[in-house]
Amino acid sequence: MNAEMKEVVLTLMAGRAYVFSLLHKMLGAEPTKTLMDAVSSEESMQAVALFESEDSDAAKKLGNVLLACRGMDEERLDRVREEYTRLFIGPDKLIAAPWESVYTTKERALFQESTLAVRGWYQNYGYELAQAPNYPDDHISPMLHFLALTTERAAACVRDDVLCGYRNMLEGQKLFEQNHILNWVHQYAEDMDKSRTKLLYPQLVRVMADFMAYDQQLVKELLKAAD
Amino acid sequence: MALIQNLLDTMISRRSFLKGSAAAIGTASFALSAAAVAESNELKAAAEETIPAAAEPIVGEDGGKWVAAACPHNCGGKCLVKAYIKDGVILRQKTDDFNTDDDINRQQRSCLRGMSQQYQARGLDRLKYPMKRKNWTPGNPNGHLRGQDEWERITWDEAAQYIADEIKRINETYGDNAILCAGAGTDVLNKMNINYLSAWKTGSWGGWFAPAMLGWGDGCNYYDCNNDRLDMLNCEYVVAFGYNPAWSSLGNATNYAKTWKENGTKFILFDPIYTDTAAVLDAQWVPIRPGTDMAAMLAMAYVMLEEDKDGSLIDWDFLNRCCVGFDSEHMPADAKDAQNFFGYVKGEYDGTPKTPEWASEICGMPAETLREVARILGKNNKVALLSSWASARNYNTEQLPQLVIALGAMGGHIGQSGHTVGPTAWNHTNNFGPRLIKAGSGGSTGAVGGTGSSTSVSETQQWDAVLGKPFNPTTLWTMLNGNGPDYWKDAIGGYDLTKRIENITANVKMIWNGSTSRLTNSEGSKKGIEAHRAVEFVVGQGHFLTATNKYSDIVLPITTHWERDNAGYIWEGYYNRDILLISDKVIEPYFEAVSDAEASIKIGEKLGLTADMWGTVPAKQRLFNAVATTTVIKEDGQTWENLVSITEEDIKEWGVEGQPQEGRISIKKYMEDGLYRVDRKVGDNFGFIHKKAFRDDPEANPIGTNSGKIEFYCQTYADAINSHGFSEVEYHGLPKYQPIAQGYESTFENGDIKGAKSAYPLQCMNPHYQRRAHSIFDNIPWLQEACTNPLFISKIDAMERGIQDGDTVKITSAYGEGLRHACVSVRMMPGVVGLPHGKWNRVDEKTGIDHGGSENYVTGEVATGMGINGYNSLNVQVSKYEGDPIPADCEIPQTILF
C-alpha cells in the first residue's frame, strides 16, 4: 500500500470506527444532551460525510438523522428519551427487538443460539460483554462496539504494515456483518416503523440497517486496497 | 473502488477529519467519547487481542449438559423439565425420558406449558429493570394515568427508596390497614410491624375451602380423601362433577383415569361441557348448568330413598353407625331444629319434594338420567363419587361438599375397597393417599425480628374496601383452611357464632402487588382497576408487565425460579404422592432481575431492616438440608429411609456443612435426574382406603366433625356462615338447595325459571385452559398460537345471535364487557358459555371494553354465603361485536392498548 492509499484507508477506517461507535452509543443508551450534541457535532457530520457516494445514499440519510439531534431542548429530549424507553427497554412488550435472537428464533426469546455464536466471535478476538452473563451478547449495540474495536485494530495493522492482519480483520468483519447483522436488521427496521412515535429511533434503525448493508461494499473496497 | 478513488482524488479536503496524527484513530479525541453507554452494552477486553482467520464460530451441542429444571408452576400437574445448558444458554428442553412408562407407573412428562418454560425465563418481554411511571411522583400520583402512562427506567436504589419512603409516609399518615398487600412485600411489612390489609379467597377450592368441619381433608388439602389409584381399578363406576383433568390437571391424572377405563370402569361426568376428559374416557356426559349441582345430588338422594327396598340401594348399616342428621333417629346433639336430611329431600319442610323432575328443570338434564345415575349410586355397585372443586367455585355452594359426602354415604361408598367419596383436584387429581415420599426441611433460615399482623378482607370485597366501603374482616375462614384437621375445634371458640360480625372500613392508600396477579385472578377487576387508580401509590413486581403490573407506579423485575439459588423444594407439599421433583439454579438472572426475597431485602435496607433479620443461612445449605432429610417409604409400606446417600465428597462439592448418610440413591443421581418416583404395583403395600378405620369402628376412629361422624346436618358450619359470612339468606345445618347468585335462576327476570329471560340470559363459566397455569404463560407466542382462548358458545346460542365460528363477540355482564373470538361448539350446553380463566386484560380506555377477554373483567364482586369466589357464577349476554374484529392474541403488538 503506498502512502496516499494508506492515508485514505486510515481515514476511512477512522470514519468507520467513528460511525460504529456513534451507532453503538445511540442504540445502547438512553439519550442524553451530551450524546445528542456529540452525534450532531461537526466531527460527526464530517465522519459520516466521508461515506457519501453515488453508490448509496445511506450516509446522506444517516447524516440527516443525526443533524436532527442538534440543538435539542429539554422538552424534546424528554420525549426522545420516552421513545427510547418504549422501544428498547419496556416495560410493555417491545414492538421491535434490538437482539438478533428474536429474529432468528421467532419465539420472542433472548439468550439463544445466536447469542452463543456472537459470544464466540467476541471471544475469538479477545473480548467479552462487560456484564455477562446477565445480558445477551447479540444486542446490536455491543455488536457495533465489536465492529468499532476491530476496525481500530485493523487500522493499527495498516499503520504497522501488517497487511495480512488487516485483511483477516476485514474478512472477519464482512462475515460477522453477514451472519449476525444483515440477517435481521432490515426486519428490525420494518418493526420499528410500527412505533407510535417517530422522533428519532425508527429512522435511526432504518439508516443503520442501510449503512450496514453499504458497509459490505466498503469492506470489499478496503480489501481491494490491500492488493 | 469508487469511494476510495474519490477520496484519493479529493484527499486534501478530507484530511481535516483526522485532526492531526494518523495514529490517533478512534474516538478518544472526539466529543463522542464523552457520551456514556450502558455498561451492559459494552465490550471489554477478556484476553490477549488476536486476529484470527475469519470464521463463523460453530455452536455445537457438545460442551453443555442437561440440568434438572422442574416446572415450578401452580397448574394442577407438576412435572419434570430438563434444560440443556451450554455456556449459560438453554439450547433445548426435554422431559422425563428415563423412567419406565407403563399403565401403572408413568413417566412424569411435562405439558406444553412446561415445554415453554424457557420462553418465560428467557422471554424478550421480561421486565429488565426497575421502572417508574413518568407522571407519578410522591405527593402527586396522577393515579388516573395508571395503565396508560409512559415509563422511565430507574435504579434499584431509587426504586427501593421510593417504596420505603412511601411505606413510611403512608403508615405514619394513615395508620393501620392503609396498605393492601399480597405475596412478596408482606414479609417487609411484617418485619416493620406495619398492620396491612390482606385479602383472602376461597380461590381454587370454592365451597371446599373449609373442609375441617366436615371431617374431610387435612384442613387445607385433600390428598388422602379418596382411595389410592390402584384400588380404584376396582371401581365399577366413577360418577363425577366438574371433572376435567385433561384441561385442569395436566400430567398423569388423565392417564390414571384412562387406566381405570381400560380396566372396565365406566365414567359418568356431570359438566356444562362435553370435555376432552369425557371424550378420552368415553364417558356418559350428563349436561348440568353451572351452580345447580346440589339440585342434581338432592334429586339422586330422593330417588335412592324412594326406590330403596330393604337396603337394595342404601347402606343403612353405614348410615346408622357412621352418620348423623339423615333421619330423626340420628340427629346430632347440636342441631338447632329437628329437620333431617331425608325429610328435607322428601319435601316435608318446604313442600317441594326434590324429585328428578324438580331438579331437571333447574339443572337441564333429563329427569330419567338422574334416576339412572341414582340407581348406579346404590350400595351394590362399586362407585367412586368424585367432585372437582369447580362445581363449588360458584356462589352459595358452601354446602356442596357436605352434600357430596352425604350422597356418597347413602350408598355406603366410604371406607371400603372399590368405593370412594371425595374431591379430586389439583396435584392430587386421581392419585390419592398419604405421600410415599416426603420432602425434607431446609431448616431454620436464621431470620429474626418482626411479627407484624394483617387485617383480613375477602377478595369479594377487596375493591370496595379500597374504595372506602364497609367490609367483613373475618379471619374465621382462613383459620379453617391451612391448619390441621383438628385445629378448628379449639380455635372456633375464639369466634362468636351467635351474631353477625360487624363490618369495618379502611383507608387504603397503597397497593402492593408482590408477584401476584390480582387484576387477572380476582373478580371484579374493572372495579379493581378503578381501585388501583384511586390510591396514592401502587407497586408491582413480577416477570412481565402483566395485566396487574401495568397499573403500577413502580414495577420491579423479578427472577424466575430457574434463575435462583433454590433454598429448598419448590411447592414442596404440593406434588402427587408418588414423586418428588428437585432442582437447583439453572441459569443466571435476567438483566437486573432479583428474587422476591432479594427485592424485600433491598427495600428493607431503606427502612432500617438489617441483613440478619432476613436470615443468614445460605440458600445452598438449606437446599442441601432439605434434600438430605427427604425420606421415602420402604417396600413394607410402614417404615421410611433417607432418599439420598451422601458422602464426604458430596459435602465438599456442595460447599456446605453436613454429615454423610446412607440412602436409596446418591444425591448426585437425584440432583441430575431431578425426580424420584416410587414405583407401584397392584397388591403393593402403598394402597390406601380412605376412612377405612372410621367405617370399621367409628367410635374408636371418629372423623373431625363435632359429632365425630359424617354430618348430614352440620350446625357449626351453618352458624359460621351465618355469623361470619356475607349473606342475607340464612343457612341451615342441612345442605339445602338455594338459587345461587348469578346462577341459572337469575338469568330470568324475577328469578322465575318459567318466565321471561333477563337482560343477561346466559350463564358464563371459566374453564381452566391449557395455555396457562392461571395467568402464567398467557403471553408466550407459541402457546397463544396453539390455544387461541376463544369464548366457547353452543351452536344454538350462536345461531340465535347470528354468530359464526371465529366472529368477534362481546360478552356483557352487569360488571363489565369483554371481547373474544367465538368458538361455536356442540360440546357446550345450550345456555352456557365458557370464558377461559387466567387471560390478561387489555382495556380500551375509550370504551371501557376489555379486548383481552379477561374473565374477571366481566365478573363482579359478589359477597355472599361464606365469601366464595364464584368465578363460575355469572350471567351474561353475548352479541356479535359491532366494532372492528380483534386480532388473534399472538398478533397483538402490546399489552397496553393505546
pLDDT tens profile B548-558: 999 999 999 99
| pLDDT above 80 for B897 | no
Among candidate residues B688, B712, B709, the one with its CA nearest the CA of residue B419: B688
pLDDT tens profile A9-48: 999 999 999 999 999 999 999 999 999 999 999 989 999 9
Nearest chain A CA: its distance from B544 CA (Å): 8
Contacts A128 to B, Cβ<8 Å? 43-44, 46
Omega before A91 cis (within 30°)? yes
| pLDDT above 80 for B773 | yes
Percent of chain B whose pLDDT exceeds 70: 97
Backbone angles phi and psi of B675, in degrees to 5: -160, 145
| pLDDT above 60 for B572 | no
Residue B53 is predicted with a pLDDT of 93
What's chain B's average pLDDT?
A: 94
Of A21, A50, A99, the CB nearest to B17: A50
Measured N-to-C along each axis, helices A140-159 and A163-180 cross at an angle, to the nearest 10 degrees, of: 160
Domains of chain B, earliest start first: 65-121 (2.20.25), 227-266+295-433+690-724 (3.40.228.10), 745-891 (2.40.40.20)
pLDDT tens profile A95-147: 999 999 999 998 899 999 999 999 999 999 999 999 999 999 999 999 999 99
Pairwise CA distance, residues B582 & B187, whole Å: 25
Least confident of A192-201, B10-19, B824-833: B10-19
Of B40, B545, B782, the CB nearest to A91: B545
Does the beta carbon of B386 lie under 8 angstroms from any beta carbon of chain A? no
Start-to-end C-alpha separation, chain A: 8
Least confident of A43-52, A174-183, B786-795: A43-52
| pLDDT above 50 for A154 | yes
Residue B22 is predicted with a pLDDT of 39
Q: What is the mean pLDDT of residues B287-311?
A: 98
Pairwise CA distance, residues B414 & B412, whole Å: 6
Q: pLDDT band for A2, please (50, 70, 90 cuts).
A: confident
Nearest chain B residue to A148 by CA: give it. Answer: B26
Residue A37 is predicted with a pLDDT of 95
Residue B25 is predicted with a pLDDT of 44
Residue B117 is predicted with a pLDDT of 93
DSSP class of A85: I
Q: What is the mean pLDDT of residues B604-623?
A: 92
Nearest chain A residue to B55 by CA: give it. Answer: A172
Strand-pair partners of B821: B808
Pairwise CA distance, residues B874 & B740, whole Å: 10
Residue B24 is predicted with a pLDDT of 43
Nearest chain B CA: its distance from A207 CA (Å): 19
| pLDDT above 90 for B893 | no
Nearest chain B residue to A139 by CA: give it. Answer: B41
Surface-to-core class of residue A9, CB atoms within 10 Å of its CB (0-12 exposed, 13-18 middle, 19+ buried): buried
Among candidate residues B674, B662, B789, the one with its CA nearest the CA of residue B71: B674
Interchain contact, A111 vs B122, CB within 8 Å: yes
Q: Which three cell numbers stand for residue B781?
A: 407466542
Among candidate residues B188, B183, B140, the one with its CA nearest the CA of residue B163: B188
Pairwise CA distance, residues B775 & B840, whole Å: 7
Q: What is the mean pLDDT of residues B456-478?
A: 97
Pairwise CA distance, residues B234 & B35, whole Å: 76
| pLDDT above 80 for B18 | no
Nearest chain A CA: its distance from B277 CA (Å): 30
Pairwise CA distance, residues B596 & B602, whole Å: 10
| pLDDT above 80 for B23 | no
* Contact between residue B184 and residue B514 where contact means Cβ atoms under 8 Å apart: yes
Which residues, other chains included, contact B507 with Cβ-Cβ below 8 Å and sequence gap of 6+? B174, B175, B177, B178, B468
Q: What is chain B's Cα-based Rg? A: 30
3-state secondary structure of A224: helix
pLDDT tens profile B52-103: 999 999 998 889 999 998 888 888 777 899 999 999 999 999 999 999 999 9
Q: pLDDT band for B11, please (50, 70, 90 cuts).
A: low
Domains of chain A, earliest start first: 3-224 (1.10.3480.10)
Q: Is the ipTM of this complex over 0.90?
A: yes
pLDDT tens profile B348-389: 999 999 999 999 999 999 999 999 999 999 999 999 999 999
Residue B898 is predicted with a pLDDT of 64
Residue B165 is predicted with a pLDDT of 98
* Contact between residue B763 and residue B828 where contact means Cβ atoms under 8 Å apart: no
Which of A5, A16, A48, A111 should be substituted to probe chain B, the one whose Cβ sees the most B Cβ atoms within 10 Å?
A: A111
Interchain contact, A81 vs B782, CB within 8 Å: no
| pLDDT above 50 for B410 | yes
Helices (H) and strands (E) in chain B, counts: 28, 33
Interchain contact, B11 vs A81, CB within 8 Å: no
Of B4, B31, B894, the CB nearest to A95: B894
Residue B21 is predicted with a pLDDT of 37
Pairwise CA distance, residues B374 & B345, whole Å: 14
Among candidate residues B59, B125, B64, B54, the one with its CA nearest the CA of residue B93: B64
Q: What is the mean pLDDT of residues B432-441?
A: 94
- How many cross-chain Cβ pairs, A to B, lie less than 8 Å apart? 291
Percent of chain B whose pLDDT exceeds 90: 86
